[in-house]
Structure 1
Amino acid sequence: MSKKKRVFDIDFEEVDVTKEATVPAGTERRGPMAAAITENAEALNARQSAEAAIRQENDALAHEHVRLKKAGLITDLVPLDAIRTDKLVRDRAPGRDPEIDELKQSIKEIGLSNPIRVEQVGDVFELIQGFRRFTAYAELFEETGDEAFARIPAGINAKGENLLRLYRRMVDENLVRRGVSFGEMAQLAINYRKQASDIEGYDHAVELLFASSGRQKRSYIKHFVRLLSATEGRIRHVDAIPRALGLQLVRRLDEDADAGSMLNRMLGAEEGRTAEQEQALLSDFAARYAAPAAKKVSLTPKARAAKTTFRLNRPGGDAKCTVADGRIELRLEQDFSGVERKKLEAAVEAFLKALD
């Protein structure tokens, strides 16, 4: 039987299977599992990088928010019923401000151009600046019921701001307000002194609060502080006292040690008086209890009394002392008009005791 011929007769080159297959340089042979692990690691790195970038951006935004808040530049719509007005004692005279109606009309027509300032304390906000604006919004909401007036634009200050800075802001804002009186400014200094236990006296309070004002103006305020302190809150309309009358009253109190008690009896006898009636009462007191006329100077020359003068060097300025028969005079660059009477009496008593 003849041998059957194959249809496809292919000659294969002999290969040595004992030799390892060569892999081109720079490439690695990886299985499916290794490739998956590598891809997962690359994805994880990319995700971590993205998260780090987001965290960095969030940190930058948080720091910027804190900076703006400290500067009082964060503004929000704050509900009226979440605002308290008792943190700072206002210098407002009792009764309704007649200029509120004009402010309300302006708010209705063009809105509030200058936000109030508040400090957040827990769930409530303490009013720092803008009492008139807050009052106008509250009246508008009560009159109209419009929810647009239920919230007021407010700059939110950082917590724990220094009390002096808060009062200074209110003072400087009110100094540009038309019609603010010396009595109102004096009352504000008294209120601040009561709250700030580290303030030495009323004079010091005036110097701190009204540092932006001139020296003469601060002197007038100190005189009104003395008047309000001497009358112990019996003056009902401090905003209505003219400057000249206030200064005249202080001179009367200085000239007569009993004048203060007399004035207080007059004020206490007439309760419920109007501003006009109170001003008439004060003017009458200043006229009735004026100092007696100066005695005529004798033409007979008197023997010149011996006199001693010397100076004392002090950190706050030199003190000039003049000593004569029955008289000791002390001159300093300091206004003693605002120093409390008890403190002055104690100082003089200690001085005289040291001479005994």
Structure 2
Amino acid sequence: MSKRRGFDIDFPETPDGVYTGGGRKPNAEEPARAPVPAGTRRGPMAAAISENAEALRDRAEVERAIREENDRLAHDYVRLKRAGLITDLVPIDAVLTTKLTRDRAAGPDPEIEELKASIREVGLSNPIRVEPVGDHYELVQGFRRLSAYRELYAETGDETYARIPAGLVASGEALVGLYRKMVDENLVRRGISFAEMAQLALAFARDPNTETTDIDEAIALLYASAGRQKRSYIRHFATLLEELGNDLRHAEAIPRKLGLDLVKRIGDEEGFAEGLREMLAGQGKVSSDYEVARLNDALKSAPKAGPKPKGASANAAAKTTLRCTVPAGTVRCAARDGKVELAMERDFSSIDRHRLEAAVAAFMSALDD
């Protein structure tokens, strides 16, 4: 079997007869050809190598430009997200309202129907604000808007209301900053009461995740945008809430003047706060108008005791607050004239009565040593 021979490829010569390369190699009997001048035609391999190098350079340049554009877009995204200007449609079921204590009292909202009607007709013009946390979102601003969307979805089943427009706040912002965002938006909202603002300040001071246990400092932090007079009113209502506690069912309905007068009477008259608590505890489930009327009647009643010495508790807000870390957790303590409060995440009602009594006795004994 004869060996298979390859084909010889001859490239055409130039008009002047100069060999330009390629094809079979000339043998010794062929006349010598002059060297190929620079800049004349290159062989196919050289051309391919050159073209590939140029393509690689072009590709590297394109990749560099893409990386720079991606970096710029990433920085812009973070900047806009921090400013709350990145908006997305988020599922209403994925939005939680547990991280921040809301400043609106629980209960029916008489204005929610108007908000729902507006959303049905023109949509939501002001998105809520949320902080992405894992696979869900923590609500920062827009509790009523979120409530309206949830009610609309429950009533209609329309998927339009299953997702709500939300501005995405950058994760990791300090808790006080998130509270300030919520508070400052609501300071200009009509209808929020001094009692609701005071309740938020009390919750902030009691929150173990915040840096303060002092109600005055909490009010100063949360309501820094408010005037001094408004902060003073909030402080007085905080005193009223501390004195009357859960027996006061409709604090948000108390007018400013009535609240201030009640706090003054509590500070001036021994036993007035105890009388109010007894009255409120025995009234059962009542309307806000009825409760406010009873508070007005109590305020008009004759004093049961002489006024306290001036300065003794004229300002019922005066107290000492501190935190104490124990093996079971963090204890928040508030002490004032005739009253000491200890609060922590623990069910004290589950402790045996005799052990609790012994602990109280030891506590009082340690104070007298």
TM-score, with normalisation over the residues of structure 2?
0.73
Structure 1 Cα separation of the partners of residues 220 and 317 of structure 2:
11
The residue number in structure 1 matching 2:201 is 189
Of 263, 287, 305, which aligns to 2:276?
263
CA contact (8 A) 1:252 1:291 kept: no
Structure 1 Cα separation of the partners of residues 145 and 116 of structure 2:
8
Output the amino acid matched with 2:103: D
Aligned positions of 1:93-172 closer than 5 A: 93-172=105-184
Summarize deviations over 1:28-84 as a string: whole Å, max 9, x none: 785433332222222211111111111221121111111111111100111111111
Aligned positions of 1:53-72 closer than 5 A: 53-72=65-84
Q: Can you give the 5+ residue segments of structure 2 that lack an aligned partner in the other structure?
A: 1-28, 321-333, 339-369
1:252 and 2:231 are equivalent in the alignment:
no
1:21 and 2:6 are equivalent in the alignment:
no
Aligned positions of 1:1-356 closer than 5 A: 21-24=34-37, 26-27=38-39, 30-195=42-207, 196-288=209-301, 290=303, 337-340=316-319, 343-345=335-337
1:117 match: secondary structure: strand
What is the CA-CA distance between 1:106 and the residue it aligns to? 0.9
Q: How many residue pairs are counted as aligned between the two chains?
A: 294
What is the CA-CA distance between 1:293 and the residue it aligns to? 7.8
Structure 1 Cα separation of the partners of residues 35 and 126 of structure 2:
81
TM-score, with normalisation over the residues of structure 1?
0.75
What is the CA-CA distance between 1:205 and the residue it aligns to? 1.1
Structure 1 Cα separation of the partners of residues 298 and 311 of structure 2:
30
Structure 2 Cα separation of the partners of residues 120 and 286 of structure 1:
48
What is the CA-CA distance between 1:114 and the residue it aligns to? 0.4
RMSD: 2.7
Output the amino acid matched with 1:251: K
Summarize deviations over 1:292-340 as a string: whole Å, max 9, x none: 689xxxxxxxxxxxxxxxxxxxxxxxxxxxxxxxx9989xxxx965333
Summarize deviations over 1:255-294 as a string: whole Å, max 9, x none: 2343322222222222212212211222232222537689
Structure 1 Cα separation of the partners of residues 318 and 210 of structure 2:
16
CA contact (8 A) 1:201 1:338 kept: no
Output the amino acid matched with 1:184: E
What is the CA-CA distance between 1:161 and the residue it aligns to? 1.4
CA contact (8 A) 1:76 1:156 kept: yes
What is the CA-CA distance between 1:22 and the residue it aligns to? 4.1
Summarize deviations over 1:136-172 as a string: whole Å, max 9, x none: 1111111111111111110010001121121122212
1:199 match: secondary structure: coil
CA contact (8 A) 2:85 2:167 kept: yes
Summarize deviations over 1:14-34 as a string: whole Å, max 9, x none: xx988762443x437854333
The residue number in structure 2 matching 1:308 is none
CA contact (8 A) 1:119 1:157 kept: yes
Summarize deviations over 1:104-128 as a string: whole Å, max 9, x none: 1111111111000011111111111
The residue number in structure 1 matching 2:24 is none
CA contact (8 A) 1:167 1:209 kept: yes
CA contact (8 A) 1:69 1:158 kept: yes
Output the amino acid matched with 1:261: E
What is the CA-CA distance between 1:180 and the residue it aligns to? 1.7
What is the CA-CA distance between 1:253 and the residue it aligns to? 1.4
Structure 2 Cα separation of the partners of residues 288 and 226 of structure 1:
21
Of structures 1 and 2, the one scoring higher in RCO (CA 8 A, sep 6+) is 1
Change (3 A) 1:220 1:163: same
Q: Can you give the 5+ residue segments of structure 1 that lack an aligned partner in the other structure?
A: 1-15, 295-326, 347-356
CA contact (8 A) 2:263 2:316 kept: no
Structure 2 Cα separation of the partners of residues 246 and 120 of structure 1:
39
The structure with more radius of gyration: 1
CA contact (8 A) 1:68 1:74 kept: yes
Structure 2 Cα separation of the partners of residues 78 and 52 of structure 1:
34
CA contact (8 A) 2:241 2:248 kept: yes
CA contact (8 A) 2:195 2:237 kept: yes
- Which moved further from structure 2: 30-39 or 76-85? 30-39
Change (3 A) 1:94 1:209: same
Identity %: 54
